[in-house]
Amino acid sequence: MPLNQIQSLPLALAFMGLFIILFTLYFFALRHLPGKITHRFIIRSTIAMGIAYLLLPLVTSQDVFSYIAYARMAVFYHLNPMVVPPTAIEPDFVYGFLYWVHQPSVYGPTWLAITAGLQLLATAIGFKYVLSMEMLLRIFGLLMHLGSTQLVWLLSERFEGLKSGQDEANWQTRKLGVTLAFAWNPFLLLEACVNAHNDGTILFLLLLSLWFLFPQTENSRPPFLVAIVLLALIACLKISYIVLMPGILLFLLLQGTAISSIRRRLRDVGLATLIYVGLIIAIHAPFWANGALLDVVTMTPSASRNINSIYELLVNGYAQFRGIQLTHSIDRGSHLEVLSHMLSAVLFTLMYAALCIRSFRRPQYINTWPALVAWLAGAWLLYCVVGSPWYWPWYAIILFGLFALLEMTQQELPAGRTPVHFVFGSLDVALLGRALSSSMVGLYCLWILYNLLPKLQLAYLTSLWVWGLPFLIMAIVRARTRLKQKPLYTEPSL
């Protein structure tokens, strides 16, 4: 059942109540379990929870049906779904489940290869129906989540240098707590095992690429070319993730200080850029269709429509204040929305350029592995908040994997040690991650409310919940911390 079909109060309360209970149990588990469990328990319990999610008879996004439609177009009808819209297969049974029927696939060849492969598998074992393909995509999403969980555990071990002076038992408890927080996150399980969003696959590939960016032994060079190939595959799944690549290039360029290594680092950056760009072009070439592939960028609603973003709030607030009637189609935004996209592009470009320039001028902000993780998280958070007027909860999925790794740099550092990155500094990324996961699931609850109360014209205020609530929580906690640290009375000096 799609979320927009929850039209009765009992169903709405059941959905909201389910996730209130899940988050309550989740926060309770994070507080009491880390010192009493093992890594094997986390994996087994996550599998069990994932199976329970697989069986939920609803979706909070209809994207999974678009995935199925594009795969069927490629496998059964031999069409190019990256330039041909689903209207070409209107007689197909899956067509009735689609919302974006005039939109060719905005997902790249990487995702088409995965979904087409799953469709071929379903056909080979005799399952040709939409429900069987949906279940295969959910199972694949669970596998990606389990893979990311394992990588969070393994990558956490890369922070061995931070445990100087700490008890081994406490260090293991921290790793278990970080891994548990990621594995049991209700939002991540919902997106992986129910909606089967491909951002979970992107997170797995990103964490895997980070593994190959870390030296395997002391003073050894990391096999970074493998990471570059994985990052190219990510860009060929969703092109917006190209914003992560400059950080990787800065990381390769700014490692080390020896003058003798400058030529080698420049060569590495040049080779990485050549492979990255070359792979993206080569993988997209078979789908080029005489340039029609580029038209998809302008056809997608994300190019001109606003939703769940600060720009939606600004545009609608301004329109109501001035008495302007906003008119838009399903695929094309109003004039004010188009202007807000231009504003978004300018603001994001300026802020992103400042991030890159400052990192270049101060190499310590990106030339270590923990600093790189913080840089990537900061850049993607900036994209979600500032650079994406068209925003949906699953865009934030990769943040939770990166935040999990950053928790290892911030929890109970030895005396005198501070995080080696400036993007988040002393900001509690663990709390930010918990608040964001709650607000993202809460957004679905808001949309249920809007479905039940269609005359309630407050949908454009969702960004206050999506971003306002988490950052308000962070501001309150930060203010309380400063008040506790500030002395109540200071003796006057003589």
73-83: average pLDDT: 94
**What are the contacts of 347-354 at 24+ separation with CB within 8 A?**
347/386, 347/387, 348/382, 348/383, 348/386, 348/387, 351/382, 351/386, 352/243, 352/379, 352/382, 352/383, 352/387
pLDDT for residue 231 is more than 90: yes
32-47: average pLDDT: 94
Residues paired with 307 in a beta bridge = 390
pLDDT tens digits for range 189-201: 999 999 999 999 9
106-132: average pLDDT: 90
48: pLDDT confidence band, cut at 50, 70 and 90?
very high
10-26: average pLDDT: 88
| pLDDT attached to residue 416 | 44
Distance CA(488)–CA(350), nearest Å, equals 41
| pLDDT attached to residue 32 | 92
Q: Where are the domains of the chain?
A: 3-479
- Residue whose C-alpha is closest to residue 313's, from 302, 303, 326: 326
Instruction: Answer whether 395's CB lies under 8 Å from 388's CB.
Output: yes
pLDDT for residue 470 is more than 80: yes
57: pLDDT confidence band, cut at 50, 70 and 90?
confident
45-62: average pLDDT: 92
pLDDT tens digits for range 355-401: 999 999 988 888 888 889 999 999 999 999 999 999 999 999 999 99
CA distances from 253 to 30, 75, 234, 268 (A): 38, 43, 21, 8
Q: What is the DSSP letter of 2?
A: B
Q: What angle do CA 281, 82, 226 make, to 5 degrees?
A: 40
Q: What is the DSSP letter of 100?
A: -
| pLDDT attached to residue 494 | 43
Distance CA(95)–CA(158), nearest Å, equals 47
Plot region of 389 (φ>0 → left; ψ -120 to 50 → alpha; else → beta) = alpha
Weakest-pLDDT range from 217-221, 236-240, 271-275, 281-285: 217-221
Percent of the chain residues topping a pLDDT of 90: 54
36-64 burial, b if ≥16 CB within 10 A, otherwise e?
A: ebebeebbebbbebbeebbebeebbbbbb
Question: Could you tell me which residue, 28 or 256, shows the higher pLDDT?
Answer: 28
417: pLDDT confidence band, cut at 50, 70 and 90?
very low
Please state the length of the chain: 494
| pLDDT attached to residue 16 | 86
456: pLDDT confidence band, cut at 50, 70 and 90?
low
82: pLDDT confidence band, cut at 50, 70 and 90?
very high
32-39: average pLDDT: 91
Instruction: Answer whether 360's CB lies under 8 Å from 328's CB.
Output: no
Weakest-pLDDT range from 17-21, 24-28, 136-140, 487-491: 487-491
Instruction: Answer whether 365's CB lies under 8 Å from 247's CB.
Output: no
pLDDT for residue 490 is more than 70: no
Question: Could you tell me which residue, 478 or 277, shows the higher pLDDT?
Answer: 277
Distance CA(411)–CA(419), nearest Å, equals 10
| pLDDT attached to residue 482 | 73
| pLDDT attached to residue 446 | 84
CA distances from 400 to 207, 224, 397 (A): 11, 23, 6
Distance CA(406)–CA(402), nearest Å, equals 6
The whole-chain average pLDDT of the chain stands at 86
pLDDT for residue 256 is more than 80: no
pLDDT for residue 167 is more than 90: no
- 211-220, 362-371, 451-460: which has the highest mean pLDDT? 362-371
H helix intervals, 300-428: 310-322, 335-361, 369-385, 397-410
Q: What angle do CA 116, 137, 240 make, to 5 degrees?
A: 75
pLDDT tens digits for range 321-351: 888 888 877 778 889 999 999 999 999 999 9
Q: How many Cβ atoms sit within 10 Å of the Cβ of residue 228?
A: 25
- Residue whose C-alpha is closest to residue 358's, from 379, 389, 338: 379
461: pLDDT confidence band, cut at 50, 70 and 90?
confident
- 107-111, 211-215, 451-455: which has the highest mean pLDDT? 107-111
